Amino acid sequence: MKREQIGLSLGLRLLAILLALLFTVMVLLLSGAPPLEAFRQIVLGAFGSYKRFTDVLVSWVPLLLVSSGLLITFTAGVGDIGIEGQITLGAIATTWALRLLQDSTLPPALSLLLATLAGMLGGAIWALLAGALKTFGGVNEIFGGLGLNFVATALTLWLIFGPWKRPGIGSMSGTEPFPQALWLPVLPGLRLSLWALVPGLLAWGMVFLLLSNTYFGLRLKAVGKNLRAAYLLGVPTWQHMMLAFLLCGALGGLAGSFQVTAVYHRLIPAISSGYGYLGLLVAMLVNFQTLWVAPVAFFFAALNLGSIQLPIVLKLDSSLSGVIQGVLVLFVLLLDGVRRRMERG
Amino acid sequence: MKVELRHIHKHFGPVHANNDITLSIPAGTIQGLLGENGAGKSTLMKILSGFLRADSGEILLDDRRVIIRSPADAIRHGIGMLHQDPLDFPPLRVIDNFLLGQQAKGIFLQRNQALEAFQRLAQQYDFSLDPFAYVENLTVGERQQLEILRLLWLGVRVLILDEPTTGISAAQKQKLFATLRRLAEEGRTVIFVSHKLEEVEELCHRVAVLRAGRLVGEMHPPYDTRKLVEMMFGREIQAAPRASFAASIPVLRLQQMTLEDVRLRMTAVDLDVHAGETIGLAGMEGSGQDLFLRACAGLVRPVAGRVLVGEQDLTGKAYHAYKRAGVEFLPAARLEEGLVPGLTLSEHFLLVSERQGFFLQRAYAQRLAEEQIALYNIKGRPHSPVESLSGGNQQRALLALLRQPLSLLLLEHPTRGLDVESSIYIWSLLKERCRQGTAILFISSDLEEILQYSDRVLVFFSGKVSPPLEASALSVEELGGLIGGKGWEKFGVQRES
């Protein structure tokens, strides 16, 4: 890329952020809220204290895992919409493993490790289902993934209100919490667990390395950009497609697993917390640049956490963060289209 | 309609694709536009037909200055273009394709009216097209006829044809030429873009030659072929002498192979292909040669019979098994099937490299790419995305990606769309492979190419296959006849399906 192209691309990115902010200001004005105060509350909510900052990191971890995983399938030319279900299945598999192991004599650390692996396996299997539907059944990955997401949600509810219900009566608050020994250790006085943060960062780094510096990554790119030519050039195409799904599902499953072991300590109905869809937004926004996943995911996590303040202080709905995130993605994609038109001349 | 182009300039980045081109075409003429690949012919025609905007310059139609903003705008001005690859909708029926692009009159399709117009026009120009057939089942020639009818119905008075004879049969070509002559007699202007001298000389009332973005000369009949070639290339070109490297070791054996697709059935073909020999597959597009070639690569599964590569029986195995046995298939659609747009040349070389570990070795890739670029004379850099290369250089890159050594190389239209010089160079590379023992099977619609480079020829005609014919004993006329279905009696009835 030439310097002026990079400049143009950067300028348009900044413009997109500006437009997204402008649009949000309009939404705020229309709903009769003071925009500056709202933004101040979001920043305060995310960074107002050390504790809040670490809370941002807590939701950064699943986003980081999910977005990194999604970049693998994006590179192979498919969007893994089923990621929500894969997070959920990761959480279910971890809960299942912990339920089995909580009464055993195994040391808690080993139980946690096994439960985490079970979570990754659960996510991977759910992703392989979507991948197999796509590769062998000819089912569009969007339809297959969405279908599997609904099945995963239904499965969660059935487990919470059925076989895994609390003694007495099942409730929306989820299954019986696990004993504290089976919680991932957190920093004193905080909700952040380094046992989740470090694997999250490692996964991101490994995906970066995988996509930019390995033969596997190169072959995946070839599959994503031209399946037919990749096959004729000798790349085992369906195997790579399935591997991409598998890796993405394993990372999604890991995110779901941490939701259980590090955050909620039980299975709750909304265990995926929408991180899958938010991860899709992040993956779209970074446009195949794996390095950007971390800052963008961090920014999204900060928006999410920051906007929790809004209903309390300004009587605004906290979904404002979703508005900002969605609008930002739309403007970036829009201006990307504008850039391509300009380059074509 | 009279068409005038004045001082047309068009830049693509550093490339000056059209450099001050001024050309005037009177109504009722067939204007030939000659030039090698990348000379700027297509760019100029895309400007005239609204696909591109010129950087500067004027377009005048019947002495009135016009600004053409889009292809639809061009149609409103009466200019229509027939593209090299038909821009139609294969899953739709002929009649619905015909209707597309028509100014909407209300919400509902006026199918009956369109059907009448279609049948009237088809009859007028003597095309036999079934309006209810699906376009994907038509030959390239028939799709071309459909597109001509559609443009005529839209009231086009200037018809631009970009390499229209590529991939169509000899009979379809004659019909096309007759149609174009008739359109010119009716006062329409026809612009015929090609690099086939013979056709331009046969058809056109006048010829303009482009080279490196400039208009280098115009000529009226009688044409001086040598002079035209000189204008196109700036020098004369000589083809390499015939060479044969056939040995007696069989590399591919087909035993009673039977193939089938929706349109045809090819029964019990036997063939032994020997190391170092070149076999040309001739036939009208869709006569079965494409099916045959893909079957030799495992890309199409025979319904009966056996395929042996060397001593291995690979019947029913996938292409990658053939690849491991030393077979490679090179498709005609270079950017659709052959290369991966978005990846660079050096990434392509890495992709097929046999030294694949876990991590990429960038330095090795760079060295490898530079070597191959020099060896195959590719005009590009290791970091050039393949889609930025010209067609000829893409073809060279594809050849550079083939492994060494190979026992069998299967090529679809290896020089389609390339200029004479590139074709000769490509064949010198291929013949070098033959010298090393690779057998080559190739499809071409260029009869002279088939006769020039093959040792033996197989002719395909609606699912029938001729016995292998010695190329040296075959004339263009004879081969042309066989392709058109004449002279098959002498092969006896055992090959009739």
Sign, Cα dihedral of B433, B438, B443, B445: positive
Please report the pLDDT score of residue B35 as a whole number. 80
**Measured between CB atoms, which of B12, B342, B401 is closest to A225?**
B342
**Measured between CB atoms, which of B331, B336, B360 is closest to A215?**
B360
In terms of Cβ atoms closer than 10 Å to its own Cβ (0-12, 13-18, 19+), residue B484 is middle
Please report the pLDDT score of residue A319 as a whole number. 81
Q: Extract the tokens encoding B371.
A: 């070597």
Name the least confident of A106-115, B295-304, B472-481.
Answer: B472-481
In terms of Cβ atoms closer than 10 Å to its own Cβ (0-12, 13-18, 19+), residue A29 is exposed
Please report the pLDDT score of residue A257 as a whole number. 97
Say if residue A146's pLDDT is above 90.
Answer: yes
| pLDDT tens digits for range B292-320 | 999 999 999 999 999 999 889 999 999 99
Please report the pLDDT score of residue B405 as a whole number. 85
Tell whether B394 and B411 lie within a shared domain.
no
> Is residue B336 domain-resident?
no
> Is residue B337 domain-resident?
no
Please report the pLDDT score of residue B495 as a whole number. 42
> Is residue A19 domain-resident?
yes
First to last CA, chain A: 16
Tell whether A22 and A102 lie within a shared domain.
no
The chain-wide mean pLDDT, for chain B, equals 86
Q: Is-contact B443 B268, C-beta < 8 A? A: no
Tell whether B174 and B287 lie within a shared domain.
no
Tell whether B36 and B147 lie within a shared domain.
yes
Question: How far is residue B87's CA from residue B46's CA, in Å, rounded to a whole number?
Answer: 14
Between positions 21 and 60 of A, the ones with CB within 8 A of B are none
Does any CB of chain B come closer than 8 Å to the CB of residue A231?
yes
Contacts of B360 in chain A (CB under 8 A): 213-215, 217-218
> Is residue A292 domain-resident?
yes
> Is residue A198 domain-resident?
yes
What band does B113 get if pLDDT is binned at 50, 70 and 90? confident
Specify the amino acid at residue B70: S
Between positions 81 and 140 of A, the ones with CB within 8 A of B are none
Tell whether A251 and A341 lie within a shared domain.
no
Please report the pLDDT score of residue A72 as a whole number. 97
Neighbouring C-alpha atoms within 13 Å toward the C-beta of B454: 30
| pLDDT tens digits for range B372-422 | 998 888 888 899 899 888 888 898 899 999 988 899 999 999 988 777 788
Alpha helices in chain A (DSSP H): 3-30, 35-47, 50-75, 83-101, 108-135, 141-161, 194-213, 215-225, 227-232, 237-258, 275-286, 293-306, 309-314, 320-344
| Lookup result for tokens 């090698």 | B36
| pLDDT tens digits for range A66-100 | 999 999 999 999 989 999 999 999 999 999 999 99
Say if residue B242's pLDDT is above 70.
Answer: no
> Is residue B91 domain-resident?
yes
Contacts of B340 in chain A (CB under 8 A): 221-222, 225-226, 229-230, 233
> Is residue B64 domain-resident?
yes
Tell whether B143 and B287 lie within a shared domain.
no
Please report the pLDDT score of residue A307 as a whole number. 87
First to last CA, chain B: 50
Alpha-carbon distance A330 to nearest alpha carbon in chain B (angstroms): 24
**Measured between CB atoms, which of B329, B343, B356 is closest to A215?**
B356
> Is residue A163 domain-resident?
yes
Q: Is-contact B201 B192, C-beta < 8 A? A: no
What band does A118 get if pLDDT is binned at 50, 70 and 90? very high
Tell whether B74 and B185 lie within a shared domain.
yes
Number of domains in chain B: 3
Question: How far is residue A172's CA from residue A168's CA, in Å, rounded to a whole number?
Answer: 13
> Is residue B364 domain-resident?
yes
Tell whether A123 and A6 lie within a shared domain.
no
What band does A209 get if pLDDT is binned at 50, 70 and 90? very high
- A216 versus B481: which is more confidently predicted? A216
Tell whether A335 and A262 lie within a shared domain.
no
Which one, of B255, B247, B303, lies nearest residue B274 by Cα?
A: B247
One DSSP character per residue, B35-99 reads --TTSSHHHHHHHHTTSS--SEEEEEETTEEE---SHHHHHHTTEEEE-SS--S-TTSBHHHHHH
What band does B493 get if pLDDT is binned at 50, 70 and 90? very low
| pLDDT tens digits for range A258-308 | 999 999 999 999 999 999 999 999 998 888 889 999 999 999 999 989 888
Please report the pLDDT score of residue B462 as a whole number. 76
DSSP B213: T
What band does B469 get if pLDDT is binned at 50, 70 and 90? very high
Domain boundary among the residues B385, B402, B419 is at: B402
Shortest CA distance from B342: residue in chain A: A225
Contacts of A228 in chain B (CB under 8 A): 336-337
Q: Is-contact B409 B328, C-beta < 8 A? A: yes
**Does the distance separating the beta carbons of A221 and B342 come in below 8 Å?**
yes
Number of domains in chain A: 2
Shortest CA distance from A218: residue in chain B: B351
Tell whether B39 and B140 lie within a shared domain.
yes
Question: How far is residue B173's CA from residue B177's CA, in Å, rounded to a whole number?
Answer: 6
Alpha-carbon distance B84 to nearest alpha carbon in chain A (angstroms): 21
Question: How far is residue A15's CA from residue A9's CA, in Å, rounded to a whole number?
Answer: 10
**Does the distance separating the beta carbons of A234 and B323 come in below 8 Å?**
yes
Shortest CA distance from A223: residue in chain B: B340
Domain boundary among the residues B203, B233, B263 is at: B233
Alpha-carbon distance A208 to nearest alpha carbon in chain B (angstroms): 12
**Measured between CB atoms, which of A213, A217, A233 is closest to B352?**
A233
Interchain CB contacts (distance < 8 Å): A and B = 64
Torsion of CA A251, A257, A259, A263, to 10 degrees: -130
Give mean pLDDT, residues B436-445.
Answer: 92
Alpha-carbon distance A333 to nearest alpha carbon in chain B (angstroms): 19
**Does the distance separating the beta carbons of B339 and A226 come in below 8 Å?**
yes
**Does the distance separating the beta carbons of A221 and B338 come in below 8 Å?**
no
Tell whether B283 and B162 lie within a shared domain.
no
Tell whether B351 and B369 lie within a shared domain.
yes
**Measured between CB atoms, which of B331, B352, B360 is closest to A234?**
B352
| pLDDT tens digits for range B1-51 | 899 999 999 987 667 889 999 999 999 999 999 887 668 888 899 999 999
Tell whether B398 and B443 lie within a shared domain.
no
Residues contacting residue A153 through CB under 8 Å, at least 6 positions apart: A85, A88, A269
Between positions 176 and 215 of A, the ones with CB within 8 A of B are 213-215
Tell whether B133 and B81 lie within a shared domain.
yes
Percent of chain B surpassing pLDDT 70: 93
Give mean pLDDT, residues A194-211.
Answer: 96
Tell whether A283 and A258 lie within a shared domain.
yes
Distance of CA A193 to the CA centre of its chain: 18
Give mean pLDDT, residues B190-215.
Answer: 88
**Does the distance separating the beta carbons of B348 and A215 come in below 8 Å?**
no
Tell whether A246 and A206 lie within a shared domain.
yes
Which one, of B215, B232, B230, B228, lies nearest residue B19 by Cα?
A: B215
Residue range(s) defining the domain that contains residue B55: 3-233
Tell whether B13 and B112 lie within a shared domain.
yes
Alpha-carbon distance A288 to nearest alpha carbon in chain B (angstroms): 13
| pLDDT tens digits for range B339-364 | 999 999 999 999 998 777 888 888 88
CATH number, domain of A164, equals 1.10.3470
> Is residue A44 domain-resident?
no
Q: Extract the tokens encoding B105.
A: 């009159």
Give mean pLDDT, residues B273-296.
Answer: 90
Tell whether A132 and A73 lie within a shared domain.
yes
Say if residue B194's pLDDT is above 60.
Answer: yes
Domain boundary among the residues B202, B233, B264 is at: B233
Specify the amino acid at residue B445: S
Residue range(s) defining the domain that contains residue A259: 60-315
Cα–Cα distances in Å, from B293 out to B115, B282, B441, B444? 38, 11, 7, 12
pTM > 0.80: yes or no: no
Alpha-carbon distance B345 to nearest alpha carbon in chain A (angstroms): 12
Contacts of A216 in chain B (CB under 8 A): 358
**Does the distance separating the beta carbons of B360 and A218 come in below 8 Å?**
yes
Say if residue B105's pLDDT is above 70.
Answer: no
